[in-house]
Structure 1
Amino acid sequence: MAYIYKKGKKWAFRAYMGTDPITGKEIKKSKSGFLTQKDAKLAAALFERQFNDGEYIQPSKFIFDDLCKDWEKHYSQDAKESSLRARKIALKHIINEFGKTPVQKINKKAYQDVIDKLSNKFSTNYISSIHSSTNMVFEYAQSLNLIKETPTKGIKLPKKKKTVSDLENDNSINQKFLEKEELEEFLSVAKNEGLEGDLLAFTMLAYTGLRIGEMVALKWSDIDYEKQTLRVIKTYYNPTNNKLNYTLLTPKTEGSIRTITIDPLLIDLLRLHEQEQEVVKRENKPFYKDNDFIFATNEGYPKTIKHLSIRMQRLLKKTSIKKAVTPHSFRHTHTSLLIEANVHIKEIQERLGHSDINTTMDIYAHMTKNIKKEASNKFSNLMKDLSKNLID
């Protein structure tokens, strides 16, 4: 039972909170400044109810910046280096706003205002990344009983509205992948004017749908010529693009660990590349570091993603393709061609290594012109008799 007493002209309460396990002394909660005895009693009753129900949060001056540092140590125990780096980059924007603010003083309104402010500077996807990272930090604070509720809960993430003009000029869907004819043109240029390894690299991306990090990490031990399969069990990580400072990580998700069947064309290109690589190894034997990488430099190190991106841009300039595509566009290209070939969406999910079928469904929307035309033709055939009657 709390003790209610008068302190000067105002009222106060003192309540028992147990015993300190280290010192053995009683822990008490005191609060003063109440205008009436009744106010003090109500406040004391509220405190005791919260304390007994485990809902009471001890006041703390722990600031947001320190919370993020503490969370990073905790998160890094299980997270990949690449994931931690992405989270830290996203959190910088919130730290800039709340870095020195005590965690308990960051409320929902203040956080919503910051999200609204950042939405004017960054894309919807990036805002979502910032929010999800911040939410993880506040949930960590909640698990430590630093806060009762997370200020990130129930926040509305702004969505940028498109105007009619935006929709008329929006070619983003078509820009995400190459049409079959465009892919044929690009690979023909890679064959005739590409540099060492270009044809294999970009054919591999287009014919398998691998993430570029998965492809760069491939080793010869991942290829089974007899079964014509390719195994994905690692991914390449190198944020500095220094060929010596790379790391091999486990794939993005559990679903990303997979073995897929590959086209006979790729088998032929791989055999040819293996023979050419053996020549390079012999010629550069004194300084060749052989770690079994398929896409290796003349010194044996895996090629960087930046290196392959530069090679891709070089080839694009020699084509009639005007799209702002990237190496990841080949993954979308592979998906769209699988859809055009009427491959079941579950098979597409497994081949691409998506643990969540919703991810596959999102890409499923990126239809090729041929599919759209086919849909139109099917509708025309279905309505042929009715259409004929309308004209006659």
Structure 2
Amino acid sequence: MASIYKRGKTFTVSVSVPYQGGYKKKTKSGFKTKTEANQWAIKTEGSKIDVDIDFKPSQLLSSYISDWIDTYKTDVSRSTHVGYEMTLKAVSEYFENTSLDQVTRHDAQKFLNEYGLSHSLATSQKVKGHLSGILKDAVADGIIKVNPFERAKPHGTNAKDNSLKFLEYADFKRFIEYLKENHEPTHDIMLVASLSGARLGEVLALTPNDIGNRTINISKSYEERLNIVKEPKTPSSIRTVDVPGWLTDYLLTLSKDNNERLFDRQQSSVNRELQRILTRLDIPKRITFHGLRHSHASMLISQGVAVEYISERLGHKDISITQKTYLHLLQVKRNKEISHTITLLNSL
């Protein structure tokens, strides 16, 4: 059965076609009307009986990547899917009408060089990883002989200063006080994240059953794009986090249905409200929602809480992830400990 949907001002259609003993999704975009898209779908599906549709090396690179995403990335998280769509957008703009068999290693490297001029190294590495993985499948399927991105080297600009990713202690305290004084769903979502270090999807998945006596049990995550509640990011993300008693008492008043999610809000609306509050409180740093998680951890580090316990609260796989993420803050703490140690030794 064909799937027809509107992308921008044109229609896109996808159908499943026979390919090497199995089935593969064939997608075509650019139809001006839904009727045109449907006619192509009928003709293409009809070919399932007559002859297999061949995925040729002359297929546009951007078209192949679009097909691949629609086929193999149907059940990934929203953020992962957005990442692949951004890669597709970059490829479409740079390679335009370039076919699979026309892309050389030289072309791949030039693309990554240019992309790196306006993006961080981490982002460029992710794009290179996407393209290398996608075209590895093209090689495996016999569509092309060599993966042009396999040995290409990503480049990028320096990442933003880590201090921009979290709120300083005084601003974080004012932010939390504002949320406590102005309860409403989006504010409550931010309040839970600020006091627990939970990710947005984890907060949106919470039900009354997850709220204990001064604890929040995090065992699932809400995926907005698919509108499903699923297992969290990693097994280590399943954890019980200690929080103030007044918070759990308040959360238990929000719903009488133990299986109903406490918060039903779109992620975009929560992020917009976060920016409004930062402006309202005259807080100069502009952080994302994930920055509340960083602010939570940074606050605990600055107040001398053990990094092992912080790692458990955040649900990191191991303590090394926490140490790497907050290296700059831990170094500041270490310098203070060095100074304190020297002072102590000098007093002997």
Answer yes or no: same fold by TM over 0.5: yes
Match of 2:207 in 1: 219
For 1:42-191, list aligned pairs within 5 A. Answer: 60-76=57-73, 79-80=76-77, 82-160=79-157, 172-191=161-180
Unmatched segments (≥5 aa) in structure 2 = 1-55
Change (3 A) 1:142 1:276: closer
- Give the superposition deviation at 1:380: 4.1
Give the letter aligned to residue 175 of structure 1.
L
Change (3 A) 1:123 1:64: same
1:272 lines up with 2:278 in the alignment: no
**3-state DSSP class of the match of 1:260?**
strand
**3-state DSSP class of the match of 2:252?**
helix
Change (3 A) 1:356 1:129: farther
Match of 1:243 in 2: none
Listed one character per residue, the Cα deviations across residues 233-284 of structure 1 (whole Å, up to 9, x for unaligned) are 122425xxxxxxx712535633364022322x1x422323433556xx9xxx
Match of 1:293 in 2: 261
Aligned 8 A contact 1:256 1:355 in 2: yes
Match of 1:241 in 2: none
Change (3 A) 1:161 1:180: closer
1:230 lines up with 2:217 in the alignment: yes
Among 253, 256, 262, the alignment partner of 2:233 is 253
- Give the superposition deviation at 1:324: 1.5
Give the letter aligned to residue 189 of structure 2.
A
- Give the superposition deviation at 1:127: 2.1
**3-state DSSP class of the match of 1:115?**
helix
Change (3 A) 1:365 1:306: same
Q: Percent identity?
A: 21
TM-score for the superposition, normalised by structure 2: 0.70
Listed one character per residue, the Cα deviations across residues 208-236 of structure 1 (whole Å, up to 9, x for unaligned) are 111122212222222233x8341231224
Listed one character per residue, the Cα deviations across residues 37-88 of structure 1 (whole Å, up to 9, x for unaligned) are xxxxxxxxxxxxxxxxxxxxxx943432342133224313553454234212
Structure 1: distance between partners of 2:96 and 2:232: 30
Match of 1:56 in 2: none
Give the letter aligned to residue 262 of structure 2.
I
Give the letter aligned to residue 221 of structure 2.
K
Structure 2: distance between partners of 1:149 and 1:351: 45
Larger radius of gyration: 1
Structure 1: distance between partners of 2:295 and 2:158: 28
Aligned 8 A contact 1:255 1:354 in 2: no
**3-state DSSP class of the match of 1:109?**
helix
**3-state DSSP class of the match of 1:275?**
coil
- Give the superposition deviation at 1:111: 0.7
Aligned 8 A contact 1:211 1:328 in 2: yes
Change (3 A) 1:276 1:119: closer
Structure 2: distance between partners of 1:381 and 1:71: 62
- Give the superposition deviation at 1:327: 2.1
Aligned 8 A contact 1:91 1:130 in 2: no
Give the letter aligned to residue 156 of structure 1.
K
Q: Pairwise CA RMSD of aligned residues?
A: 3.6
